Structure 1
Amino acid sequence: MTTLPLLQPHDTIADVVLTNLRAFKDDRGQFAETFRSSWFPQVDWSRIQTNRSDSAQGVLRGLHFHFHQVDYWIVTRGRIRVGLADLRPTSPTYLTVATVDLDAETPRGLFVPIGVAHGFYALTDCTLTYLVNNYYDSSDEHGVAWDDSELAVPWGVSSATLSPRDLANRRWQDIPTEQRPR
């Protein structure tokens, strides 16, 4: 029995990958392999950290970006809308934005590379489990406003509950060049 997923490049943003995971169901429940480092051989996974985020419906977390960390997300409870913005100036999809819905009923993973801003809106109460390839480092936590008019991520909502940190995120045009992804 193989549990390897279908790795599917995102159709809008370069290097973002969706993994369509195979769930094996029986009368006891279900099993799905959710991650193998070999699925993303371009990443050094030697300093892996796993995180869990529980959010109430209506919460928005993001947009965040990193210089030294990739993310791999799986929704284990509920449903979210992920917002993505390619902030890498050398990328063929620079400043392209997209959304993708993830939910616990359809097991999929989402690989987010360095320099792609990411966040999510909780469509229901939810739990997001995610792996990162570096231990937490506050100096690698960066953000851009979730409702930035230049990026214009199509969240499908006009208001949300945000943390003080995310409310303080600057507009893209107000982030100095040296503080942006390269």
Structure 2
Amino acid sequence: MIFHETTLQDAKLIDIEPRADDRGMFARTMCRDEFLAHGIDVTFVQQNMSISAKKGTLRGMHLQLEPYGEDKFIRCVKGAIHDIIIDMRPHSPTYRRHEGFELTARNFRELFVPRGFAHGFLTLSDDAEVSYLVSSPYHPGAEIGLRYDDPALALHWPAPISTISDKDRSWPLLAASEPVM
């Protein structure tokens, strides 16, 4: 596995190292020892998946408040997505900064998202399937969200949004100085 720094503190973009032969390909997609060697000490307790039927489906921007915060390890296993993460940790030097990544079934890229980050994605293909590991079980009362079109965040989505849930469309806008957590 090849770990790449991102512009956001503690978030990592990860490339797998495929080994190919006449049978096909093999690669590790997660390795605790390699995570530890790159400063990521996390235990995943749950695996989630989402399937989005249509290109242009937006899911997010979600995060869990402490003590139910979630580290996430995200991979697109079918199709393609544009994944955006936002550092919402008030004491972080990259607070309220965001970065986007294209994760596809073909590029095999994976994304480690630390707890305290908002996360969401836009599907770039029909039938996009995303699998992700999380470090804490989902706790409905701890979920909050950020608006995908909040001017205070200025997120750039690379394609039109055609499908979004009422919940994700109705998260409140942030005030310029309002802490979330």
TM-score by length of 2: 0.87
User: Residue 26 of structure 2 is aligned with which of 26, 31, 52?
Assistant: 31
Q: Which residue of 1 aligns with 2:117?
A: 116
Q: Which residue of 2 aligns with 1:85?
A: 86
Q: Which residue of 1 aligns with 2:107?
A: 106
Deviation at 1:44, TM superposition (A): 3.8
Segments of 4+ in structure 1 off by > 6 A?
none
Q: Which residue of 2 aligns with 1:58?
A: 56
Deviation at 1:158, TM superposition (A): 4.9
Q: Which residue of 2 aligns with 1:15?
A: 10
Of residues 167-176 and 65-74 in structure 1, the stretch that sits farther from structure 2 once superposed is 167-176
Question: Partners in 1 of 2:59 and 2:20 — Cα distance?
Answer: 32
Whether the 8 Å CA contact 2:42–2:71 is kept in 1: the answer is no
TM-score by length of 1: 0.86
Superposition RMSD in Å = 1.9
Aligned residues: 173
Identity of counterpart residues, as a percentage? 33
Whether the 8 Å CA contact 1:58–1:123 is kept in 2: the answer is yes
Whether the 8 Å CA contact 1:85–1:153 is kept in 2: the answer is no
Q: 1:148 to 1:162 in 2, by over 3 A?
A: same
Note the alpha carbon deviations across 1:115-144, whole angstroms, 9 max, x for none: 111100000021111000112211232100
Structure 2 unmatched runs, 5+:
none
Structure 1 unmatched runs, 5+:
none
Whether the 8 Å CA contact 1:98–1:154 is kept in 2: the answer is no
Q: Which residue of 2 aligns with 1:137?
A: 139
Helix, strand or coil at the partner of 1:170: coil
Which residue type is aligned with residue 120 of structure 1? Answer: F
Whether the 8 Å CA contact 1:84–1:153 is kept in 2: the answer is no
Q: 1:158 to 1:124 in 2, by over 3 A?
A: closer
